[in-house]
Amino acid sequence: MAWRRRRPEARSGARGALALLALALCAPGARGRALEWYSAVVSTEYVDPQTNRSVRSVSESGRFGESSPKEGARGLVGVPRAEDRDPEGCAPRTRFLVPGGRGAAPWVALVARGGCTFKDKVLVAARRNASAVVLYNEERHGNLTAPMSHAGTGNIVVIMVSYPKGREIVDLVQKDIPVTMTIGLGTRHVQEFISGQSVVFVAIAFITMMIISLAWLIFYYIQRFLYTGSQFGSQSHRKETKKLIGQLPLHTVKHGEKGIDVDAESCAVCIENFRGKDVIRILPCKHIFHRICIDPWLLDHRTCPMCKLDVIKALGYWRQAGVTLSVKDLSPSVQPAGSVTDRAWA
């Protein structure tokens, strides 16, 4: 059927749209840039003043800054002094509390995220001769760390740890407990990002895919609707035609019947002579045929096979706007030329 033949076309249109989206995703630059970053292994050690036992913890919980050298560092932990009320370490004159620190011993600055840029924090600690700077994330981020951009800070090691880890160490240092921190290089990570331009390109491709798919879907259902309507109209028309053909007179051939020579006359459809007891259909033009031969012919052609007379019109019917009307139903001004209302062919 016609609408079924168009299904593969609709599928090919959808496949083409999907191919367009795949091309957009695989196009050069669609994947954007790749961010490479390294985790940091953070080790802390201190002596519990209540039990006088050494407490040590190691976890790969840190993240190196983008401009930080990927190398280790070690030192006592120092935090901004409480009286300076600058836990973020942003003020240029920020002083640090380093329990157990003596002279030029290496130490690690631990400051909170926020208040100023990463670069400002690192430079403030570097002016105080810190060997490394550790930032701990904001409380709302929980155990997560974030990438840090701090270009122009030299060769000082910079990492970020989670908020719980940072606060744990800050609380110890503020209690004047010396905490030694060791920073080591962890695992290399590669994270892919889609650039903004690529997002726009993919979005346009997706919208185009949806428009093409919708257009094919509309086309498909329009064709199906038209086909269904035509099939319904065709079946209805054939039903009407079959009913009108049934009005044509039938006759059973008998030997010796006047007007019909069964030995000489033949059906023009099957080219066989009429025999006794054959059922024949008599058309308005007086041509005769086997009923089983002429009825299917008239359903398809409506005309006499011999003289081409329109049998339906000859019966006094006219098909207009998809409806079969009797000539009597039409006004004289719209009756078809050559219509016969008085059954001149009968």
Residue 1's pLDDT band (boundaries 50, 70, 90)? very low
Task: Indicate the pLDDT class of residue 275, thresholds 50, 70 and 90.
Answer: confident
286/3: higher pLDDT: 286
Asked whether the beta carbons of 328 and 316 are under 8 A apart, the reply is yes
Contact by Cβ (8 Å): 111, 89: yes
Q: How does DSSP classify residue 328?
A: G
Q: Does 56 share its domain with 183? A: yes
Same domain, 50 and 88: yes
Q: Does a structural domain hold residue 223? A: no
Confidence at 343, pLDDT banded by 50, 70, 90: very low
Same domain, 27 and 41: no
Angle at Cα 70 formed by Cα 194 and Cα 102, nearest 5°?
A: 135
Residues 78 and 208 in one domain: no
In the sheet where 250-252 sits, what is the strand order?
250-252, 279-282, 288-290
Q: Are residues 6 and 39 in the same domain?
A: no
What is the domain count for the chain?
3
Q: Do 182 and 207 reside in the same domain of the chain?
A: no
Which residue did the predictor score with more confidence, 276 or 115? 115
Are 136 and 185 in the same domain?
A: yes
Q: Check whether 24 has a pLDDT greater than 80.
A: no
* Structure token pair of residue 189: 């990570």
The predicted-structure confidence for 64-110, as pLDDT tens digits, reads as follows: 999 999 999 999 999 999 888 889 999 999 999 999 887 778 999 99
Supply the range of the domain harboring residue 21.
2-31+196-213
What are 243-261's pLDDT values in tens digits?
888 888 998 888 766 666 5
Both 252 and 183 in one domain: the answer is no
Identify the bridge partners of residue 133 per DSSP, sorted by sequence position: 109, 158
Is 187 within a domain? yes
- What pTM was estimated for this model as a whole? 0.50
The answer to the question of residue 340 being in a domain is: no
Which pLDDT score is estimated for 26?
55
Tokens, residue 229: 């309507």
- Is residue 41 within 8 A of residue 184, CB to CB? The reply is yes
Cα-to-chain-centroid distance, residue 35: 28
CATH number at residue 330: 3.30.40.10
127 with 251, same domain: the answer is no
